[in-house]
Structure 1
Amino acid sequence: MAKPRRRQAGEGSISEYTTKAGPRFLIKFTAAREDGSKRAVLRRGFTTRKEAAAALRMEIRRSEVGEWVEPSKQRLGAYLAEWIEGQRLSPSTLASYRKNIRLHIDPYLGAHPVARLTAPAVDAWMRQLEAAGRADGQGGLSARTVRYVYTILRSALGDAVKQGRLSVNPTDRSTPPSPSEARPPEMQAWTASELVRFLGWADGDDRDLAMGWRLLAATGMRRGEALALRWRDIDLDAGRLAVRRSVGVVKSKGAGEQLIEGPTKTGRARVVDLDSGTVAALRAYRAARGSLALELVRDSALVLSTLDGSHRHPERFSRRFVGQIVRARKALGEEGLPVIRLHDLRHTHATLLLADGVPVKVVSERLGHASATITLTVYQHVHPGMGREAADRFAALLKG
């Protein structure tokens, strides 16, 4: 094999060294600072000579055109603490980012200098999370969670590149779990008869909770949207309601948790028409609540509040649904009522409408999706039968 060509002055150099993980390569070159002075730069961790050579060419080119960025000595943990303070995100998203940085990034990568973080190091970190990343020590994180944490790190390092702290984002060359590997749990949906059977049973078990389940199933609202709904948002005469806000749980280490109202997931309000049965149920529910206390039915009052008028806790609300499913299956028979999650009432709403031929655009607007494309992607399992029906209709048109 021919020896690599000796590089000329100004072309930098590539050297091989040995690690426990196998051979690695480093590059060394001279770069110009902003003040015109020069410094020798050394970068390690490349897995192949070809990768090292590509990086060396890129760094020298940047130096020649004045775009080279001097590496920062700041540790990743310190940078992320600074970065998160500058993010314009919802309180719940900020709390989620902070929690994941604290549990899944800082313990593994926090001590690394930002400028020395490499794609192999990022890949090794993700494989660690997959193998044993749970904070309780009970195994690894799911591919979905690992990809979510990866997107946080990718966003933070992308900002470091924009700010001139990094020349390249190491996550650009890393290998996170693919979108297909990180897909959410398979959705479940009830048939119309199963939904009717459950709602009838729930109304006799707990009328307040039954109203919540009916609202979710009849409108496709998200849990937080339903729990933030106020009587002024509902026009019973017109048979419609406006979804304007959502309530969520914000958990902060050392500060406990808070229920905070904010905008909907897409940041946009929407109007959802109600069926006559749901309007009648809301009228009866409001009358019953008003008999307990007038404060519970004022325009500003929460529709699904606790008896003291405060927000129901979203996570406890979901647990109440799980408990009712268990009791309903005992009363109605396990074969007649499959187990679903609270969020699956939203899927049930969409699936029943799509299967009945309601246009995707209409269903998308009811659900509050950012676009009909999202609805098509999420509910593509409904479409095969609909496609056959469309083909049969087309054939009928040609015949007559």
Structure 2
Amino acid sequence: MLRPADRTFATSTDADRWLMRKRIEIEEGRWLDPAEGRTTVRDWSARWLAAVAPQLKHKTQATYRSLINSRINPALDDRELSSLRPITITEWVAAMRIEGLSASRIRQAYRVLSRFMASAVGNDSIPQTPCRGVRLPRMPQTEPHIVTPQEASGIVRAAEKPHDLLIALLAFAGLRVGEAFALRRSDVDVAGGFLPVDENLAEANGTLVFDTPKSYQKRLLRLAPSLAKRLGAYLEELPGGEDALLFTTPAGKPLRYNQWRKAYFDPCRLGGRPRRRDASRPPGLARDVGRRPVWRHDRRTPTWALERKRHHPALRQAGRRP
């Protein structure tokens, strides 16, 4: 198939040299169709996201889509893939910094752009990615607060029922908060003292979604006898069938993390009881008390340093998301 050159030449010698280089590229398998490089960022990002979405969790899909629609496309949507250079991406990052966007959000947006540009390289649309050599803003360094077992026990004692049991599972069984919110009656093996973890409750763009645990890894947790006993007593009073959620709102709806944290967890961190609220006031509007804890598995999972050999070694907290 004959294709026109992508530029004109001053002399026939220059044209012959260009044609020779292209023939060598074709013979060596290095030639790229210029038409592929003229695909716009908007079109390629949509095609890439549609291709990878089935492999992603619902929340990750929503995050990628949000970053593409709010950060990448408004700045680069009509640009052709082949026209992007590292300086283009550096200027884009600088514009987000000037706008006052957080370092975390900037790095997330860059990560998504980098992934679908790498996909463009892998599909022979462009010879190399423009996402190279770009300096990103540093994440702010914060000193984590490791809650001791004594503090954890105090938080559990301060919490109102059944949230005291929920917090105990987070602190002493190693559950992530989304996994605890997704626990059902059928998940609990009280007699054996085991807790299978095979489901996670996440919030994506305001919608609650039941999905697989982080990293798609199912696991089996061993409960301390005292905790298994408390959980068994709670199940005897829990209404509903085998698929009933263990922990819900007063209306029986699945818990939302931010509302639960503000209404039930944060007030207990200083040893106080959660404040009673009016029935007309939605849960989660209690004032945030004290510093927010950092998280281990993801930023939404409070964990504590447990120096109890029969459970697991000291847990270190690191504030990062998946």
TM-score scaled by structure 1?
A: 0.63
In structure 1, the residue corresponding to 2:162 is in which secondary structure? helix
Q: Which residue of 2 aligns with 1:189?
A: 146
- Note if contact 1:235-1:241 (Cα within 8 Å) is conserved in structure 2: yes
Decide whether the 8 Å contact of 1:187 with 1:347 is kept in 2.
Answer: no
What SS does the aligned partner of 1:174 have?
Answer: coil
Give, in angstroms, the shift of residue 152 of structure 1: 0.5
Given the superposition, is the C-alpha separation of residues 65 and 37 from structure 1 closer, same or farther in structure 2, using an over 3 Å criterion?
Answer: farther
Higher Cα Rg: structure 1 or 2? 1
1:304–1:311 CA contact under 8 A, matched in 2: yes
2:235 to 286, 292, 298: 286
- 1:1-400 to 2 correspondences below 5 Å: 35=1, 37=3, 39-40=5-6, 62=25, 65-71=28-34, 72-87=37-52, 88-132=55-99, 139-142=100-103, 144-177=104-137, 181-182=138-139, 186-202=143-159, 206-251=160-205, 257-289=206-238, 294-295=239-240, 298-325=241-268, 328-329=271-272, 339-341=291-293, 343=295, 348-349=303-304, 351-353=305-307
Check the 8 A contact 2:200/2:213 in 1, yes or no. yes
Cα deviations across residues 325-356 of structure 1 (Å, max 9, x unaligned)? Answer: 3773589xxxxx9744384795643x224xx5
Whether the 8 Å contact between 1:188 and 1:340 is mirrored in structure 2 is no
State the secondary structure of the residue aligned to 1:311. coil
Deviation at 1:216, TM superposition (A): 0.7
Q: Aligned to 2:254, what secondary structure does the other structure show?
A: coil
Cα distance between partner residues in 2 of 1:60 and 1:284: 77
CA 1:347–1:302 in structure 2 vs 1: closer, same or farther (change >3 Å)? closer
Q: Give, in whole Å, the separation in 2 of the partners of 1:85 and 1:378.
A: 32
Q: CA deviation at 1:36?
A: 5.1
Please name the residue that 2:17 is paired with: none
Cα pair 1:217 1:346 within 8 Å, conserved: no
Conservation of the 8 A alpha-carbon contact between 1:244 and 1:263 = yes
Partners of 1:83 and 1:208 in 2: how far apart? 44
Q: Distance in 2 between matches of 1:59 and 1:190?
A: 64
Partner residue in 2 for 1:4: none
Q: Secondary structure at the match of 2:210?
A: strand
Q: Using a 3 Å threshold, how does the CA distance of structure 1 residues 306 and 357 change in structure 2: closer, same or farther?
A: closer
Show CA shifts across 1:5-46 (max 9, x none). xxxxxxxxxxxxxxxxxxxxxxxxxxxxxx35451459xxxx
Q: What are the Cα deviations for residues 55-98 of structure 1, in whole angstroms up to 9, with x where unaligned?
A: xxx99974663422133322212221222112131111110001
Q: Distance in 1 between matches of 2:115 and 2:22?
A: 22
Q: Tell me how far 1:357 sits from its aligned partner.
A: 6.2
- One-letter identity of the residue aligned with 1:266: S
Higher helix share: 1
SS of 1:235 mapped into structure 2: coil
Asked if the contact 1:228–1:246 (Cα under 8 Å) also holds between the matched residues in 2, the reply is yes
Separation of aligned partners in 2, 1:317 and 1:162: 44
- What SS class does the counterpart of residue 328 from structure 1 fall into? coil
Deviation at 1:305, TM superposition (A): 2.4
Deviations along 1:113-146, one digit per CA (max 9) or x if unpaired, are 11101111011111211221xxxxxx2322x322
Shift of 1:164: 2.0
The DSSP-based 3-state class of the residue aligned with 1:207 is: coil
Specify every segment of 5 or more residues in structure 2 that has no aligned partner in the other structure, as ranges.
9-20, 275-288
Change (3 A) 1:210 1:38: same
Question: 1:234–1:240: 8 Å Cα contact kept in structure 2?
Answer: yes
Give 3-state SS (helix, strand or coil) of 2:214's partner: coil
Identify which of structures 1 and 2 has the higher relative contact order when contacts are C-alpha pairs closer than 8 Å and 6+ apart: 2
Equivalent pair of 1:306/1:312 in contact (CA under 8 Å): yes
- Contact 2:295–2:318, Cα closer than 8 Å, also in 1: no
TM-aligned CA deviation for residue 260 of structure 1: 1.1
SS in structure 1 opposite 2:186?
Answer: helix
Contact 1:191-1:348 at 8 Å conserved across structures: no
Change (3 A) 1:184 1:85: farther
Mapped contact 1:229–1:302 kept (Cα < 8 A): yes
- CA deviations on 1:235-276 (whole Å, 9 max, x unpaired) are 11111201111011121xxxxx32111111121211111112
Which residue identity is paired with 1:325?
A: C
Name the SS of the counterpart of 1:189 in structure 2. Answer: coil
RMSD: 3.3
Q: 1:286, CA displacement in angstroms?
A: 2.5
Aligned partner letter, 1:276: P
